Every structure is written in structure tokens, then in C-alpha cells.
Structure 1
């Protein structure tokens, strides 16, 4: 699939997928611009080492990154891990291995709606993680879930708060309800925890940011529709108050 959409010469944005630093509620991530050098296989590619002020940026091997490809078919996103750095033919390159599926990226997916939605979640079991790696969202039924609160939601993921901390990079099963077309619908989704922090103002409570994994296109579109419908209602209420 990679070679179908990504070709040498495509522009790439790369940023860390690991722990982020916060100043208040502002998320700080360094984004680097570079270019695809070669697509080695369907799960590996080479990109030029990014530069900043004429200096090479030596991104660490074995760290996972969030990649955005600007292609002739649109914008695509995936996660990938740097597995090597080297110089060849006077070119400084990074070899990356995909750790997620390549997917089309819609900017509107990441419009975040502030909310307060109840959610139940749990960490994935070993066999479930293995299934996810094979693009199969198999889940063991009947396992206990822990309550938390979603504080913002987008078509790409959620931010939630609970009195426990998942490990960064772990996969979790999330269950929550949304009102879709006037009907209550339960969503059971798999997400990857990309950031965790303890709240300064509420010790013992932990904020998580998680990104959906292998989400069905129809479910994503329903979540996006819910978000825009809620935003439309909010704006209407504000207008009536004025």
C-alpha cells in the first residue's frame, strides 16, 4: 500500500509520537520538513535527514515518529520507527519502518470538540495486540473496564482523564456512546496512547491523549458528523443568548 501512494520526492512532515511537553494546555511538538528518498518495501522507506539552519537533525534510532506525506493523491499519515541512519552517495538518510497503517488524512478529522463524555476502557491483551498488528480488531469479550471521562474528541482520537495512568504507547479498548442521527450508539474502538501526564491541579488524575487504530471509515465519519452537529448546536445557543 505504501508504494501505491508515496513516491520519491514527496514532501514529508515528521514529528515525535512520544511524550510531549505541556505549557498549560498547549502541546509543544517540533515538526521537521524533509523529503522521501526511496520506498524500500511496503513497510519501509528512506527519507532525507531533516535539516535546520543548514545543520542535520540527528533524530534518534528506535524512536517512533508521526509522519505526514504530501502526495499527488492528497495527505497521508502513519507512524513509523527509525531503524537506521546512514550516509550513501553523499546523501544523509533515515531508514524507517511503519508501525501503523498508512491512511488518508483529513484536516477536518482533527477538529477537537470539548466535551464531558463517560467512557469505559482497558488495556489490550497480548492476543488482541497481535490481532491489531494483523489489521484485525479482535477483542476478548467480558473483560473488566475502568471508567474515565473524555474531555475532547475528534475524528482522529480522544483526550480523556482518569484516576489511573496507561503506559505511553500502549493500546487500549475504548467504549463510549454518542447520539448519532437522534439515536444512541455505542462505539467500541481501539486507540494508541500517545501522551500521558498527571494533572498539576488535580494530583492522582491523569490526562491521556489517544489516537484511533484501524478505525472503520463509517465510524470515523459518524464521529466527525457528531462533532460538527454539536458545534452547530453550540453556535446556535450562543446566537440565541445574544
Structure 2
């Protein structure tokens, strides 16, 4: 992975970081305005709460973007110059060329309310994490939040901790992903419609294709939330 995986117009998240690489403050939305050379790019200065963020030269940053083949990619750099071009302010960023695929534990956890269905593995099926089942064996559920490594799912039956379930999740009407997860938490919720249980899942199996679809969905929804939050404050 390198700068050739980026292109003009690419949407990205811009994070300010300290000398230890730790994030400081908000995540900003920006985009690539120009690829200068193999080590530097120009990005649009972000706007936050209706204010143009005039990030000073010398500021360390992390840039995060989605790549169709590799998923979420992060790279660090330093702001070298800020200038005005026509109607926008841009930032010249010198990249460190430490492009790296972001690990699951770093994924944003997305609050949601998505239709899903699940299958509870029998004890003899757990080791294989697969089972001979039909559509009628699947039960309805609602997914409340999701990340690249886990999810929170609402079901209508008590499922003990350490159980293993398969979940099919509708991201959109046309797009689904299938995961296998271990129940790490099971909580009874009192509801006017009856008892429901909130399951905390840690994914133990997901195909590469579904992983990429899920990561892209979470990343795009995160950016949409940030954009809408900004628009509400303008």
C-alpha cells in the first residue's frame, strides 16, 4: 500500500495526533485535492461547527480512507503548509509512507437499528462453526450496534454466555453480511412487548468479502454521521 492507492477527490477522515500517535480531539472530514508526489498530498482544510479549521504547520495528523481492495487504511503525516486556493483553504501534507490496514479493534462502533436473523449452534456444531440448517431454523433479531469485530443483537430468547450464533445482517435492502460470533454478554431487558435479551457478540468468523462490505458500510456511515452533525450546527 502506498500513495498510489489514493486519488484526487477521495474522501477521508483527518485526525490530529500527538508525538505518540494518539488521537487529539475531533475527527474531521476532508478530501484529497491533489497528489503532489510520492510523499506528499494536498487536502482541503476541514470545517467544524461552521468554522474553518486553520490547522497550523507542524501539526501531526493521521489520514484514514477506505480502499476497495484493502479496506480501511491509515497513514500519518505532518502539515507542512497552509494556503488559500481560489475559494478554499488547503493543507500540504508530507506523508510518512507508513500506510497500514487498520485493525478490527480500531473500528468505529456504529449505533444502528438493522434487521437481522440468527441461528444458535448446537453444542456439537460449535467447533466447526457451521451447520446443516434451513431458513425456518433462523430466528428474527435486531442489530443495535456493530463494528468490525462485534455487534449488539436483540433476541427474544435467553441465550447463555459463551454460546455461538450465526447472524445474517441486512445493511441495506440489497446488501447482507453473514458472521459467526461468540456471546460474551447476555442481558435481560424488560420491555412492554415482553422479555428481550441483549447479546454482546465477538465475531469469530467472517468471510473476506463480507469483512470488506461491513468495513466500508461502517466507514461510510461514520462519515455521514460526522457530516450531518456538522450540518446541524451550521
TM-score by length of 1: 0.48
